[in-house]
Structure 1
Amino acid sequence: MSHNRNDSATPDFALPGHSILALQGIDALAFAQAQFMNDVAALADGQWQWNGWLTPKGRVIALFGLLRLDAQTLWLLLPDVAAAEFALLLQRYVFRSKVVLKSIDTKVSASFCAPLQAKNAVFAIIKEGQIELDMSGKGGPRRLTIGGVPAGEDEEAVARWIQADLAHGLPRLPDSQREQWTPQQLSLDRLRAFSVKKGCYPGQEIVARTHFLGQVKRGLSLYEAASNLAAGNEVVAGADRSIGKIICTAGTLALAVVPLDAPTEELHCAGIALKTMPLFGGLDR
């Protein structure tokens, strides 16, 4: 299926696997600024950004949306890791910081239509307990909603949603891909998801050195396969050699980490022909 499909508006559908973690307290912003790879201090109330958490060696543990509700409240929108699990990982670094990590019991839903009020990096509280995010990009309008009445299940719509994520260069990181890739290898500069100027955070030295010394040699590439691909460390190969690894798939679409000068023709994965596709822009926040 081509990622250029022209979709009309659809009803809301549940997004399984997405969860919300709240950081609350007078040190919530300072804690997030010290731990996460993007500049949390640059956000105003009502804004959100792509952000992530790295190992000391600069590998991405998780990629998420970070929302600033107010000066003492942040929400993390986690698409690939459970909020309770992520809270346990973060808790060991709280020490004496006045911040509480709390998993929020709410549902996340989506639709292929324009947001009612949210726009770009500004989210909207459309009613009490319900937050709307603009997930639109060059591939078309998309709306994500946190809270409210739980939406129905629609496996086909969820598959299309994940395909749209991949088509915009938003990598989905299953367990097998955690702690494997640097932000630059995942081309997260396209999403403005990390900072090289804000100061210290785990992995910052690796990220900054790679950036300022011009050592970025690999990045994301989008492929459309002749048939569905299996996920997990599948190799992208050219005519005579392997050139990279697929990190996530959705139907016939796949994102892979490959050299920036990788060939774009005569590629295959496990004998399945691959066509190099352009990545959509417009999902940076």
Structure 2
Amino acid sequence: MSHWQEFLGAQGAEYQTDGTVTFPQATSPNNTDTWMTPLEHERLISLHGAKAQSFLQGQVTCDVRELSEQRWRYGAQCNLKGRVMASFTLAAAGGDELLLKLSADLAQSTRDNLHKYAVFSRVELAVDDQRVVLGLSGPDADRLISQHLGFAAPAAGEFTGSDKAVVLALENQRFELWINSQAAPELWQVLSADCLPADTALWQQQDIRAGVAKINTATAERYTPQDLNYPLIDAVNFKKGCYTGQEVVARLHYKATLKKRLYLIEGAGEVPAATAAVSNSDGKNRGEIVQALSQANGFIALAVLPIDDAQSLYLQERDEPITRLDLPYATAEADNSP
């Protein structure tokens, strides 16, 4: 157990088998709606080297060059068939270091896969044990970043940072803090004066509502980027050039009419497992669950389903109806491209 994990344990954190963290019920000292949570189910991969950017540009779906404009990016690493092996969030840490944040259960295998090609570019890769990840959300989040990290919070879609932390601004006053593990306990303590600790699931639920599918070992190599709406969240750039799987991904974009995409859904009952089947009233398989979490009176989930399917749909294993919800971004139904 790391020093950071021991510290969180002393704050009441309990680690679950999937790497997420729960806390006993707590109240905010100042009764604010701002909260923080450790994202222990995710890890960082560090890439060092003068050619780190050009190397990664040839391996992933997003345009790594856009980091120079202080814009972080979602992205994916695909196999030769254009299936997503790992999804990630990408930002720069300063100098010639890049950071990928991804599911902890894919961190080592993704690092090893990239390393096979990195030797020719003299890029060093490592699963980063020197940083941890926090989520900070709520109306006071930007003020707390400025107050305790010494720099203004970035605008949505951008990142900024120092030796102490890299901060990414997501949507709706939601921020990720990629922090030096030695500095993390002190930062947690000062933040706790103004915000309360929260379970990791609360952050994951917001990811789902944002329509951002996160791949882990249970869902790796099952979906194309288009299945997951990745072109719609700037996780795919069709003009950047070659990468593994690019021919398949580009062909789907330019020559195919897509028949399925990612939907936000909800339903009653227990949380379905990833890859659980979704069927129509005749029991015919129509899609599957990618991610799901509990919410009041049921669950909320992301599922890959047929486009413009007006049929009533059900969780196949329980014959329970599901309801489609609106995603927070526009969906171009014809070809799933922005």
Normalised by the size of structure 2, how large is the TM-score? 0.74
- Alpha carbons of 1:266 and 1:40: their partners in 2 closer, same or farther (altered >3 Å)? closer
User: Aligned letter for 2:41?
Assistant: G
Question: Partners of 1:181 and 1:56 in 2: how far apart?
Answer: 12
- Give the number of aligned pairs: 271
Please list the CA deviations of residues 62-118 of structure 1 after superposition, one character each: whole Å capped at 9, or x if unmatched.
111111234622111113545333211211122321110022222111122243412
Partner of 1:255: 302
Question: Partners of 2:54 and 2:264 in 1: how far apart?
Answer: 36
User: Aligned letter for 1:134?
Assistant: A
Helix, strand or coil: the match of 2:256?
coil
User: Aligned letter for 1:109?
Assistant: L
Match of 1:90 among 110, 114, 122: 114
- TM-superposed deviation, 1:30: 1.1
Q: Which runs of 4+ in 1 moved over 6 A?
A: none
Task: Note if contact 1:17-1:82 (Cα within 8 Å) is conserved in structure 2.
Answer: no
Question: Partners of 2:271 and 2:232 in 1: how far apart?
Answer: 25
Helix, strand or coil: the match of 1:93?
helix
Question: Is 1:131–2:166 an aligned residue pair?
Answer: yes
User: Aligned letter for 1:239?
Assistant: S
- Name the one with the larger helix percent: 2
- Alpha carbons of 1:85 and 1:242: their partners in 2 closer, same or farther (altered >3 Å)? closer
Question: Partners of 1:28 and 1:165 in 2: how far apart?
Answer: 28
Q: What are the ranges of 5 or more consecutive residues in structure 2 without an aligned counterpart?
A: 1-31, 146-152, 190-195, 331-338
Question: Partners of 2:35 and 2:206 in 1: how far apart?
Answer: 16
Question: Is 1:68–2:92 an aligned residue pair?
Answer: yes
Question: Is 1:144–2:168 an aligned residue pair?
Answer: no
Question: Partners of 1:210 and 1:9 in 2: how far apart?
Answer: 43
Partner of 2:228: 186
Identity percentage of aligned residues? 28
Question: Is 1:109–2:128 an aligned residue pair?
Answer: no
Question: Is 1:267–2:331 an aligned residue pair?
Answer: no
Task: Note if contact 2:91-2:100 (Cα within 8 Å) is conserved in structure 1.
Answer: yes
Aligned pairs (5 A) from 1:193-232:
193-232=235-274
- Alpha carbons of 1:62 and 1:266: their partners in 2 closer, same or farther (altered >3 Å)? closer
Match of 1:39 among 47, 63, 69: 63
- Which segment is superposed worse, 195-204 or 83-92? 83-92
- Alpha carbons of 1:82 and 1:249: their partners in 2 closer, same or farther (altered >3 Å)? same
Question: Is 1:51–2:75 an aligned residue pair?
Answer: yes
- Alpha carbons of 1:212 and 1:90: their partners in 2 closer, same or farther (altered >3 Å)? same
Please list the CA deviations of residues 39-79 of structure 1 after superposition, one character each: whole Å capped at 9, or x if unmatched.
11233163311111000110001111111234622111113
Cα RMSD after superposing both structures = 2.3
Partner of 1:5: none
Question: Partners of 1:34 and 1:244 in 2: how far apart?
Answer: 31
- TM-superposed deviation, 1:133: 1.1
Question: Partners of 2:249 and 2:271 in 1: how far apart?
Answer: 31
User: Aligned letter for 2:254?
Assistant: F
Helix, strand or coil: the match of 2:253?
helix
User: Aligned letter for 1:248?
Assistant: Q
Quick check: which has more Rg, 1 or 2?
2
Please list the CA deviations of residues 12-33 of structure 1 after superposition, one character each: whole Å capped at 9, or x if unmatched.
2211211111111111011101
Helix, strand or coil: the match of 2:218?
helix
Partner of 2:149: none
Question: Partners of 1:97 and 1:28 in 2: how far apart?
Answer: 8
- Alpha carbons of 1:98 and 1:45: their partners in 2 closer, same or farther (altered >3 Å)? farther
- Alpha carbons of 1:97 and 1:128: their partners in 2 closer, same or farther (altered >3 Å)? closer
Partner of 1:3: none
Please list the CA deviations of residues 216-255 of structure 1 after superposition, one character each: whole Å capped at 9, or x if unmatched.
2110011111123221221111222221111111110111
Task: Note if contact 2:314-2:322 (Cα within 8 Å) is conserved in structure 1.
Answer: yes
Question: Partners of 1:146 and 1:96 in 2: how far apart?
Answer: 28
User: Aligned letter for 2:137?
Assistant: F
